[in-house]
Amino acid sequence: MNTTVLAIDIGSTKICALIAEISVNQEITIEGHGIAKSQGIKKGAIINIELTSKAIRKAVNDAKRISGSNITSATVSISNSYAKSLNSTGIVNISNKDISIKEIKRVMQTALYNANIPKEYDVVHVLPYNFRVDDQDFIEDPFGMSASRMEVDVNIIMTQKSNLSNLKKAVRSAGIEIEGIVLSGYASAIATIDEDEKELGVALMDLGGQTSNLVVHLGNSIRYNDFLGVGSNHITNDLSMALHTPLQIAEQVKIHYGNMLENSNELIELPIIGDEDNRNSVSLDIVHSVIYSRVEEALMILAKSLDKSNLKDQLGAGIILTGGMTKLKGIRELTQAIFSNMSIRIGQPENINGLFDELKDPSFATVIGLLKYKAGEHTLYEVDFQQELLHSKDIHEDSLVDIKIGNSTHLKANQTSKQTSNEITNNRQQDEQASSTISFDTLPDLGNDTQSQFKKLTNWAKQLF
């Protein structure tokens, strides 16, 4: 059966809501969209819940109107501002020698438990980038393997509690429940990086309105993320100040004359701030140098950050640029000059059913990534913000060891995430005992008739054993 989903990218210049149908084959068809100017957001962080909520409501209502759907829960983006990441490792013994989802979940929980999460931070993603099975490294997918020990290296992405709680409040007061939260850079990466690039290692730079996000994808997962509170709006501010012209005019100058490839001495006439009667003659040469210096500065900071990641040498697929700022002419060439010897391309969402032309644009990489995340294009295994394990395995294919009468296989990770690895091991042993013995106290609800017959049978069996 198809499912209807809602994705909301809460960017610092626009909020975009998309409603789509996801088929059983994970094919996405967009049915409606709504775009609202962001309010109450500064450099990615919510600074006015009420205003942000109004803008979210507007975008969502427009998308609902177009799609005819009345969906009330959404997958939303969270900005990289106030985000942090750290690496951790988990090890578990596999006493029954068979790796099922349960063992994968346990090893991920152990890695999370072993990490030193600062108390003012909440976990948004736990992403495994390397599984080791009986000392064999770089296992792509340990599911179904026979082994006595499994280890995992994970990258844990977290955000400040207040940042997450403001996001939840703003979305909920727009009448929407949150069913998924995705780091915006991660979502943009999902929308733009292809399978070969993932394999080779790639850095994604989402250059937006007030922020620039860097994400490094290597070895099946995100390994590094960083944030810079500079985006294309800063170019507009610089132009406004340098040319003494209002912000709206500066924005138009940026969009129509922004060109870092060609230099020109042509003159343009611009209104002057506070002087409606007169106009200034400005050389495009000045426009060029204002834009060039701001973009160059931002890219240089991102270059330093990439150096800091110590992963730059492993990025065989180079750099993908996305976000609204990448519509600036010549940005690819300038990036190429700064990151010499790396291949650079502009990435934008494509090949999605119902993708309106308006959305085939680097500004919409994040929101399309949110839809793809919801359709299952996340990391092969992932512990999400609710500490649930996401995976794309059909649970029926799971090892029978997981199937216990009267007990769900979907154990909530937060029930065990704060356990010590010893407790986790003890629980595992108990789970294993439980799975090999049928517990008569935990029989499922089978309806009155069947239940009474079954009760008789169990009473009889209890007396027997």
Q: Which residue ranges make up the site for ligand ATP (CB under 6 A)?
A: 11-14, 44, 79, 208-211, 231-233, 251, 254-255, 258, 323-325, 327-328, 363
* Choice between 215 and 284, CB closer to Mg ion: 215
The contacts of residue 159 (CB under 8 Å, 6+ apart) are 78, 82, 83, 84, 121, 122, 124, 183
CB 78 within 8 A of CB 183: yes
- If we measure between CA atoms, which residue out of 39, 28, 14 comes closest to residue 369? 28
**In the complex, minimum distance from the CB of residue 89 to ligand ATP, in angstroms, rounded to a whole number:** 32
**In the complex, minimum distance from the CB of residue 205 to ligand ATP, in angstroms, rounded to a whole number:** 11
Q: Which does 419 bind (CB under 5 to 8 A by kind): ligand ATP, Mg ion, none?
A: none
Segment contacting Mg ion by CB under 5 A, of 10-18, 32-40, 258-266, 309-317: 10-18
CB 76 within 8 A of CB 8: yes
Instruction: Tell whether residue 11 is a contact of Mg ion (CB under 5 A).
Output: yes
Tally the residues of the chain: 465
CA 89 to chain centre: 21
Site string for Mg ion, 193-212 (x = CB under 5 A): ---------------x----
Q: Which does 232 bind (CB under 5 to 8 A by kind): ligand ATP, Mg ion, none?
A: ligand ATP
* Choice between 46 and 94, CB closer to ligand ATP: 46
What number of chain residues touch Mg ion (CB under 5 A)?
Answer: 2
* Choice between 357 and 441, CB closer to ligand ATP: 357
Report the alpha-carbon distance of residue 314 to residue 301 in Å, rounded. Answer: 20
**In the complex, minimum distance from the CB of residue 14 to Mg ion, in angstroms, rounded to a whole number:** 8
Give the ranges where 17-117 is alpha helix by DSSP (H).
49-67, 101-114
* Choice between 180 and 208, CB closer to Mg ion: 208
Task: Please return the burial class of 407, using the count of CB atoms within 10 Å of its CB with bins 0-12, 13-18 and 19+.
Answer: middle
Report the alpha-carbon distance of residue 465 to residue 455 in Å, rounded. Answer: 15
The closest residue (CB) to Mg ion is 208
Report the alpha-carbon distance of residue 387 to residue 398 in Å, rounded. Answer: 20
Give the ranges where 124-182 is alpha helix by DSSP (H).
161-172
Q: Which does 34 bind (CB under 5 to 8 A by kind): ligand ATP, Mg ion, none?
A: none
The closest residue (CB) to ligand ATP is 324
* Choice between 16 and 71, CB closer to ligand ATP: 16
**In the complex, minimum distance from the CB of residue 328 to ligand ATP, in angstroms, rounded to a whole number:** 4
Instruction: Give me the residues that bind Mg ion (CB under 5 A), please.
Output: 11, 208
